[in-house]
Amino acid sequence: MNEQEFNYVSVPTKYIEVDDIRYAYRSLGTPAEVPVVCLQHFTGTLENWDPIIIDGLAKERQVILIDNTGVGNSGGKTPDNVLDMSKDAIKVINALGIHQCDILGFSLGGFLAQAMADLRPELFRKLIIVGAAPQGAKALHSFPQLVEKAFALEPKEQYLYVFATKSEKSRAKITSTLNRLYIRKEERDQNASMDAITAQISALTRWGTDPVTIDLSKITQPVLIVQGSNDEMMDSASSLELYKSIPNAILIYYPDSAHGSFNQYPELFVEQANSFLNRFE
């Protein structure tokens, strides 16, 4: 695909003020009754979505990307726990005048998707949860150590360490993803600050260590769970646990892939996600 063909890389950043905090977001796509709101991973900003995925989803619906509190160009102080992050995201969704939406939550965003569906079930029609885990997942107990290992690497290897497997094929595909994140030249989002990162490390770790408060069996929405074969950060088996706990969930595992499962197979993911959002009940 020609770089110029992506709409996502040129859509302007907008701002909305909620409770005296200015939130950055981007909206694109075909106006639709039910938009999909996208919530990002640890350290992720508006620049961390694969244009193939965002444009692919936007062909069939409105796609809204949000920088949560204190992240990227959004103001405020990033909470140190998923529940408060979820309440913030719900406030932004309300402020945008959305009465019902779907959620695409990646990694930390997939934790928020679970907590938001628990907090406000009527607000969310369907959920897509990529590379995530249920509360109490043991893999997250060592999240700070994994971050420390990753942060010791130079930026490209850091990205590959988390999102790719060791195979050449996986590394090549995730390198392509990484390159696509830099197609956008103008009006780029700020990187996550050290304060935001520190708070997110706490939130991610606590998702694994704090008491379990969400009853996943009460999430009655259709849920699509996507994961790679070798996600060390979340432990790939965590997605099977999610699938077994949520009554109306589809689980899809991609081959030879790590935390960046849907980044590695973006066209396949777009087909599966659009099919799920358009037709699955």
Out of 243, 262, 263, 266, name the contact with its own copies by CB under 8 A: 243
Do residues 42 and 31 touch, judged by C-beta distance below 8 A? Answer: no
The answer to the question of residue 244 lying near its own copies (CB under 8 A) is: yes
Rounded CA-CA distance 235/160 in Å is 16
C-beta of 154 vs 281, nearer to its own copies: 281
What's the DSSP call for residue 160? H
What is the Cα–Cα distance from 268 to 266, expressed in whole angstroms? Answer: 5
Phi, psi of 70 (to 5 degrees): 80, 5
**Interstrand relation of 101-106 and 36-39 (parallel, antiparallel or unpaired):** parallel
Q: What does each C-alpha distance from 73 to 137, 170, 200 come to in angstroms? A: 30, 31, 16
- Tell me: does residue 15 bind its own copies (CB under 8 A): no
Q: Is 252 in the site for its own copies (CB under 8 A)?
A: yes
Residue 244 CB, nearest distance to its own copies (Å)? 7
Nearest of 162, 158, 175, 159 to residue 131 by alpha carbon = 162
Closest separation in Å from C-beta 25 to its own copies: 31
Return the residues of window 109-148 that contact its own copies according to CB under 8 A. Answer: none
Q: Is 251 in the site for its own copies (CB under 8 A)?
A: yes
CA dihedral over 19, 97, 51, 125, signed as positive or negative: positive
Residue 1 makes contact with its own copies by CB under 8 A: no
The CA distance from 260 to 247, in Å, is: 25
Number of residues that bind its own copies (CB under 8 A): 21
220 binds its own copies (CB under 8 A): no
The Cα–Cα gap between 49 and 123 comes to: 23
Residue whose CB is less far from its own copies, 138 or 244 = 244
β-bridge mates for residue 29, sequence order: 62
CB of 49 to its own copies, least distance (A): 22
229 is an interface residue for its own copies by CB under 8 A? yes
Binding piece for its own copies, criterion CB under 8 A, among 58-66, 68-76, 103-111, 268-276: 268-276
Cα–Cα distance for residue pair 57/64, rounded to 1 Å: 10
| Contact with its own copies (CB under 8 A) among 249, 258, 273, 277 | 249
Of 37, 199, 272, 277, the one binding its own copies by CB under 8 A: 272
Segment interacting with its own copies (CB under 8 A) among 13-21, 43-51, 66-74, 266-274: 266-274
Residue 21 in 3-state DSSP? strand
By the rule CB under 8 A, 268 interacts with its own copies: yes
Q: What are the residues binding its own copies (CB under 8 A)?
A: 229, 240, 243-244, 247-256, 267-268, 271-272, 275, 279-280
